[in-house]
Amino acid sequence: MKDNKYADIVVNLPVEGPFTYSIPEHLERYVNIGSCVEVSFGDKKATGYVTGLSSKTSVKNIKPVIRALDESPLIGPKMLELTKWISDYYYSSWGEAISAAVPAVLKKGMNVKSRRKKKGPEDEEIEFIDGSDTHLSPNPEQRQALDSIKRCMDDGIHRVFLLHGVTGSGKTEVYLQSIARALEQGHSSIVLVPEISLTPQTVARFRARFGDKIAVLHSRLLGSRRATEWKRIASGEAQIVVGARSAIFAPVKNLGLVVVDEEHETSYKQEDVPRYNAREVAIKRAALSRAVVVLGSATPSLESFYAARNGRYELVELPERIDSRVLPEVQIIDMREELTKVKKVPIFSQPLKLWIEKDIAEGKQVILFLNRRGFSTFISCRKCGYVLACKHCNVSLTYHFHKRKLVCHHCNYKMDPPNVCPQCNSSYVKYWGIGTEKVESEVHRLFPRAVISRMDTDSTEKRGTHEKVLSRFKDHKIDILVGTQMIAKGLDFPKVTLVGVISADTALNLPDFRSGERTFNLLTQVAGRAGRGDLGGKVIIQTYTPAHYSIQAAKNHDYRSFYEKEISFRKELNLPPFCHMVRLMFRGRKEEKVLKVSQALRERLLKGDGPKKVEVVGPAPAPVSRMKGMYRWNLFLKADKIENITSLLKKVLGNNRRVAGIIVTVDVDP
């Protein structure tokens, strides 16, 4: 008989805990460490997780656990430890961190029956005849990488490898063979991929090699399917998990290996509480299980490459494409010069037009990339200068041709395009700026005989469209594919010989210290879509800032020169990886109040930080200074160690998510 009458419970709310509850006799069987339960908290009910048990307590007025939500504990001791670390590092409550680690469908209570459902598009796996079911014989560089990785796995040493290799250099083959070694040892593996590259193509490759041992977790999975996959993993039936961000919490047994593909991707950062980065969580989780981590990228994050340079990680490199296939030649077009040749701002430069014409005439395929949706991205009155902006956000509206609407890309506010200027009634309303819709229509006009398709979040709203377009492109039923970053990554189509970047400047102009890094990554990724077959490849980048080091380094496929330049800026300005940064965002409907609260907090932080370990910068308006009707101001905190910042915040802000009616969010390593 158990004599644990009391449970320490953390709840999925921004409060610290754990709190003590009593365990009614009839629930004793179900309330264990790691169990998910329902408790009353204040005057409401809350989902809680048991973090400890005891036979006595000194706490008075104890409330009982209301009910158990699952028959057996949802989380094991290691997951409790991991989520505790997340809550400390990313400044959330422990209960919130656990909640993020467990799929919602499993927290809904016992006897959840998986309802039968129609076969959805997420179940259909489009066959790509591209996965090979046997190991390829590694080339010397792959062998060297595999030797180092396997040695650590064999010795049970936790180590982080940074696998730096250009696109097509054989990184995935290294992952596959490392996973096979883990399997031989009876160990499980988790492979994280950015959601965007979780295409049927990627999944098919893993499936071809490992068949039913694979479980796939992505955000489009319906609850019931997610629950089934979760159970297959927990039971040990599936020993390899492939998935997006939250797959790092998969309940595998005997974790031996974690792979983080495209480790630099921003989609590994969760935007809600807890605002964790799955890459860092992966490293922590592996450390707890003494597992090996492989971070792979053609364009490693500055943080990871810096760590590799300092010996914290081990750098392994695959410097060349398989079969020494050359990287595509990249040509930069200075659009300022193009502008002098023609009267109107051109979408396509002469060289890009000629190359498209030539390649489709030769029966090859073309990808055109622009990181902006819609038709016109800026609408203004030529008479009075009025700009059509969102009612709720401080951004201009984008004209969407197919919807015949002006749309806000931040809050989705829509309005009909006005015939006259709303301010002066003149009819000189002009549409400027280009989005993917306009690129598509312009390609139609210039190349009427080509089959053209567009892929962005507008064109793929319907489930399954994404896969269908890719499948048609693969079968060469499409000549020219126009798209946003949706088509920038992961695609491997040998007949694509030309990639055109309509504008390299969209990401560069963002007011963010990572904009140079983003631009280099994006251009390198997009360029990597060209010349993957025997037909060779060419990339054309149009830009108004051709001399920028990010663009020059991308042209030369030269990560090192980009890294050296960027890291020296970061050092000079004391930015990550030379410090840790935390962003406090203040939001509210009255701007004066937002400003007042942020300034007051600044003063309290400065006063509270006796030893002056934390630098406080701001407050300053956020890049989008009003969104969804809320004014937004930022305060940045910088320090050598994250604990210096979080302990100061604990002292000054505590668990508060609101100060005098103003919403305050804390984002660690933003």
Token digits of residue 518: 């983003």
Is residue 599 classed as helix, strand or coil in its secondary structure?
Answer: helix
CB of 322 to ligand ADP, least distance (A): 4
The rounded distance, in Å, linking the Cα atoms of 195 and 231 is 22
CB of 467 to ligand ADP, least distance (A): 19
Residues that bind ligand ADP (CB under 6 A): 136-139, 142, 165, 167-173, 322
Token digits of residue 278: 């799955």
The rounded distance, in Å, linking the Cα atoms of 584 and 670 is 10
| Alpha helix stretches (DSSP H) within 451-504 | 465-474
| Alpha helix stretches (DSSP H) within 460-546 | 465-474, 505-508, 515-527
CB of 197 to ligand ADP, least distance (A): 10
Interaction partner, residue 169 (Zn ion, ligand ADP, none; CB < 5-8 Å by kind): ligand ADP
173 vs 456, which CB is nearer to ligand ADP? 173
CB of 492 to ligand ADP, least distance (A): 7
Cis peptide before 18 (omega within 30 of 0): yes
301 vs 396, which CB is nearer to Zn ion? 396
485 vs 599, which CB is nearer to ligand ADP? 485
The rounded distance, in Å, linking the Cα atoms of 423 and 487 is 39
CB of 189 to ligand ADP, least distance (A): 16
185 vs 423, which CB is nearer to Zn ion? 423
The rounded distance, in Å, linking the Cα atoms of 325 and 459 is 33
CA angle 205, 206, 208 (to 5 degrees): 65
Interaction partner, residue 107 (ligand ADP, Zn ion, none; CB < 5-8 Å by kind): none
174 vs 190, which CB is nearer to ligand ADP? 174
168 vs 374, which CB is nearer to ligand ADP? 168
CB of 382 to Zn ion, least distance (A): 8
188 vs 380, which CB is nearer to Zn ion? 380
CB of 267 to ligand ADP, least distance (A): 18
Interaction partner, residue 393 (Zn ion, ligand ADP, none; CB < 5-8 Å by kind): Zn ion
Interaction partner, residue 139 (Zn ion, ligand ADP, none; CB < 5-8 Å by kind): ligand ADP
Interaction partner, residue 165 (Zn ion, ligand ADP, none; CB < 5-8 Å by kind): ligand ADP
70 vs 173, which CB is nearer to ligand ADP? 173
In sequence order, which residues have a C-beta less than 8 Å from that of residue 396 and are 6 or more positions away?
A: 377, 378, 379, 380, 387, 388, 389, 390
| Alpha helix stretches (DSSP H) within 66-139 | 77-89, 94-101
In the sheet that holds 414-415, the strands lie side by side as 398-400, 405-407, 414-415
Interaction partner, residue 411 (Zn ion, ligand ADP, none; CB < 5-8 Å by kind): Zn ion
Give phi and psi for 16, each to the nearest 5.
-70, -65
Interaction partner, residue 215 (ligand ADP, Zn ion, none; CB < 5-8 Å by kind): none
CB of 664 to ligand ADP, least distance (A): 41
225 vs 321, which CB is nearer to ligand ADP? 321
Question: Exposure pattern of 53-92 as b/e (b: 16+ CB <10 Å)?
Answer: beeeeeeeeeeebbbbbbeebbbeeebbebbebbbbbbbb
Interaction partner, residue 424 (ligand ADP, Zn ion, none; CB < 5-8 Å by kind): Zn ion
181 vs 454, which CB is nearer to ligand ADP? 181
Is residue 271 classed as helix, strand or coil in its secondary structure?
Answer: coil
CB of 501 to ligand ADP, least distance (A): 20
Interaction partner, residue 173 (ligand ADP, Zn ion, none; CB < 5-8 Å by kind): ligand ADP
Interaction partner, residue 413 (Zn ion, ligand ADP, none; CB < 5-8 Å by kind): Zn ion
CA angle 147, 150, 155 (to 5 degrees): 125
Output DSSP code: residue 396: B
Residues that bind Zn ion (CB under 5 A): 381, 383-384, 386, 390, 392-393, 408, 410-411, 413, 421, 423-424, 426
| 148 C-beta neighbours (distance < 10 Å), count | 17
CB of 70 to ligand ADP, least distance (A): 38
Amino acid at 68: A
CB of 142 to ligand ADP, least distance (A): 6
112 vs 322, which CB is nearer to ligand ADP? 322
Helices 515-527 and 559-572: crossing angle, nearest 10°? 170
Interaction partner, residue 304 (Zn ion, ligand ADP, none; CB < 5-8 Å by kind): none
